[in-house]
Structure 1
């Protein structure tokens, strides 16, 4: 059955394949546009090799920074539309033919696109000596190169620098994902005249003058505060100091978060100052940002080591309301005033103890003593994973063990936050003993190499410093550029004669070591390379 409406005309597609150029500009002369892209040769190489094309709007200027265009596959049709128009002789009357002719010439299989950003341009004057020298070098003008003289005025204000080939390394615009610093908030501040102004306040700033800080490598640890602490005067300040002191009598190391969970809300504003009366802070190492009781060295006990969990931020991810809903559900029925809260010990401990069952809060740091999950305790309580000496990176554990604990803790932590439950981990100890043995061998071999490297680096550093001093002294002498001119003139004279100063030396490629970009090292022994690759795969 034929349709009642007229059918469209079937237009055949030509067999020719075309190459399309999306030129970023208005083209009046095709030859000029092709010249700005390097000519027909450059376009042909780009089509064959699927490489990029440099578009220079000032094709004759070698200092012009190009726009890079890339050849991509496409499936487009080249359509030719023809409309005939007749003009009456000796008159301005135009008779249009209502009929149109449409032809599909062929398929466009490849397209050259310029989607990058144009770089900043720097116009070098034609009278500039450096520009003239570079043009002579490109054209091979030996006479101009010989006639070039280096200025001997030693004018440091005019360095005669050649502009760089590009000012920016970014070709395609991208989103930087700038975010506001989380601790920074806007507050209303009352001025002396009674008006209010909005100011930014960083809530994470702490008074470093009142804190006693220690670095991990320092052997001495404080037995009392190294700062002049003011004695608390207000009653609430005295109560906060005593409450914090009582906590450190029960356990010598606490995190700021744990102290906030254990103390009533009325002391939260005084906790920062009260902690300085009872403990000091490590600025790095396994106990970074933890408060340690005066007179206690945590580097002698493994149970107080902390494990941090890194949660990666994704710009496309959105916070899930159920996380906050779970936390609100756990605190249902709590009075509005914090000092009137009646919370049992189990709920308080659940805020900083990770048992692998209850949904934790969005916390990223735990102490080893606060982790009670059975799967992770297999790693924590196994003496085979302990080191004889504490280190800055892994603490009492080997690096591979510390990394495994963090990975397992992070898996369960995220699973509890997202799903409300976490499946048991059955392979937490797989391959750890072998990794520990490799780490032992690596650490033993690395010590001697480090000492040798330090000596070589020291010698090379001294040589560089002496060379810089000699160069600076030579620059201060009058006419220091004459010697450079003499050397260049001598070389150019020999070049004109066709008698180079030095013969080319042929290198025996078999005597050179292979360079591996992935390992960033020279491959001298095949076995060493394989061992290094195995270590990289496991890490």
Structure 2
């Protein structure tokens, strides 16, 4: 209209996408979807074939195929702990061999094409457990006393639509074809067989060992403790229904697992740092207070709990993995 001037566009007032859409072509499935995919998208096939041009890539593809033959459901971290593959190539390879579950007991996991865990009671062992170490003075130790890193803080995130969001180096198809070196230019190079591998503690829980981060996503088969496996197997052979909350397990199985795991962790911290517990008093009923996170709303406890300080991040990317494909 007359007298109206379009505002000047600048980084101060413009909101828009800060990066191009990632063409990784993953297929996402919800728990209540009736059908599951039996093959990848054509675009996913073409993208992988375009970058899979050397013997190393073909070997990695074969190794991942074998992993999915042995076990039809994997977390990305578990894959990264078993085969050495550059993260940017793994982002292209996974959608070529598996689909991604968004909700339900297998959420945030990659499932082999054609396999539906909702129809197989034995898939119970592949379900995911969101485990968090809760800490606060009422548990005997404060966040700063914890010998475990905090998970990534929201203070380190920017909205994906902000123009000024720092953009990481984009890896081109040419880079992927030629192979990618390590990020460190100094020091001796690691052998190719283990250059990109993560430690197994990133996905396996063992008795007597602390998790590497305060929030972990474990598959039930990777809880390598007999007492935990007994809890999981309580209804073996009698599974009748797969629910979105509990999968093929008995109700409250996840809570029982968190109780037991948290007590184990508290005992480890007590043995390594006894001074933290020297001034604490026992509860009225004389029982151990369990430091576990149930994943449900606990407003009365949250008010007493001390805040975590912002951390530098973690390698546990399952909670934000979907961002790599949208």
Q: Do residues 353 (structure 1) and 204 (structure 2) align?
A: yes
Give the Cα–Cα distance (whole angstroms) in 1 for the partners of residues 23 and 264 of structure 2. Answer: 35
CA 375–361 in structure 1, closer or farther in 2 if over 3 Å, else same:
same
TM-score where L is the length of structure 1: 0.34
CA 358–273 in structure 1, closer or farther in 2 if over 3 Å, else same:
same
**1:245-260 superposed matches below 5 A:** 245-260=65-80
Give the Cα–Cα distance (whole angstroms) in 2 for the partners of residues 392 and 275 of structure 1. Answer: 24
Q: Do residues 293 (structure 1) and 112 (structure 2) align?
A: yes
Q: Do residues 217 (structure 1) and 217 (structure 2) align?
A: no
Give the Cα–Cα distance (whole angstroms) in 2 for the partners of residues 225 and 381 of structure 1. Answer: 33
**1:336-415 superposed matches below 5 A:** 337-339=189-191, 348-362=199-213, 364-383=216-235, 387-413=239-265
Give the Cα–Cα distance (whole angstroms) in 1 for the partners of residues 105 and 193 of structure 2. Answer: 34
Secondary structure of 2:240's aligned partner: strand
Q: What does residue 43 of structure 2 align with?
A: 228
What's the offset of the Cα at 1:250? 2.1
What's the offset of the Cα at 1:398? 2.8
Q: What does residue 281 of structure 1 align with?
A: 100
The answer as to whether partners of 1:385 and 1:398 remain within 8 angstroms in 2 is: no
Give the Cα–Cα distance (whole angstroms) in 2 for the partners of residues 262 and 414 of structure 1. Answer: 29
What's the offset of the Cα at 1:256? 0.7
Give the Cα–Cα distance (whole angstroms) in 2 for the partners of residues 305 and 227 of structure 1. Answer: 29
The answer as to whether partners of 2:29 and 2:99 remain within 8 angstroms in 1 is: yes
The answer as to whether partners of 2:83 and 2:194 remain within 8 angstroms in 1 is: no
Give the Cα–Cα distance (whole angstroms) in 1 for the partners of residues 63 and 268 of structure 2. Answer: 32
Give the Cα–Cα distance (whole angstroms) in 2 for the partners of residues 243 and 319 of structure 1. Answer: 41
Give the Cα–Cα distance (whole angstroms) in 1 for the partners of residues 261 and 43 of structure 2. Answer: 40
Moved more, 362-371 or 352-361: 352-361
Structure 2: 5+ residue stretches without partners: 1-16, 150-186, 274-286, 288-326
Question: Which of the residues 294, 297, 306 maps onto 2:128?
Answer: 306
Q: Encode CA deviations 1:415-453: one digit per residue, 9 max, x unaligned.
A: 5478569xxxxx9xxxxxxxxxxxxxxxxxxxxxxxxxx
- Root mean square deviation of aligned Cα: 3.9
What's the offset of the Cα at 1:367? 1.0
Give the Cα–Cα distance (whole angstroms) in 2 for the partners of residues 239 and 342 of structure 1. Answer: 14
Give the Cα–Cα distance (whole angstroms) in 2 for the partners of residues 305 and 232 of structure 1. Answer: 33
What's the offset of the Cα at 1:224? 0.6
Give the Cα–Cα distance (whole angstroms) in 1 for the partners of residues 145 and 93 of structure 2. Answer: 36
TM-score where L is the length of structure 2: 0.53
Secondary structure of 2:50's aligned partner: coil
What's the offset of the Cα at 1:279? 0.6
The answer as to whether partners of 1:360 and 1:417 remain within 8 angstroms in 2 is: no
CA 358–214 in structure 1, closer or farther in 2 if over 3 Å, else same:
same
Secondary structure of 1:292's aligned partner: strand
The answer as to whether partners of 2:126 and 2:219 remain within 8 angstroms in 1 is: yes
Larger radius of gyration: 1
Q: Encode CA deviations 1:336-361: one digit per residue, 9 max, x unaligned.
A: 53445769x9x954442212123332
Q: What does residue 81 of structure 2 align with?
A: 261
**1:79-94 superposed matches below 5 A:** none
Give the Cα–Cα distance (whole angstroms) in 1 for the partners of residues 25 and 241 of structure 2. Answer: 31
Secondary structure of 1:375's aligned partner: helix
Secondary structure of 2:129's aligned partner: strand
The answer as to whether partners of 1:240 and 1:274 remain within 8 angstroms in 2 is: no
What's the offset of the Cα at 1:319? 4.6
Q: Encode CA deviations 1:29-72: one digit per residue, 9 max, x unaligned.
A: xxxxxxxxxxxxxxxxxxxxxxxxxxxxxxxxxxxxxxxxxxxx
What's the offset of the Cα at 1:293? 0.5
Q: Encode CA deviations 1:490-517: one digit per residue, 9 max, x unaligned.
A: xxxxxxxxxxxxxxxxxxxxxxxxxxxx
**1:184-223 superposed matches below 5 A:** 207=22, 210-223=25-38
Higher-strand-fraction structure = 1
The answer as to whether partners of 1:240 and 1:267 remain within 8 angstroms in 2 is: no
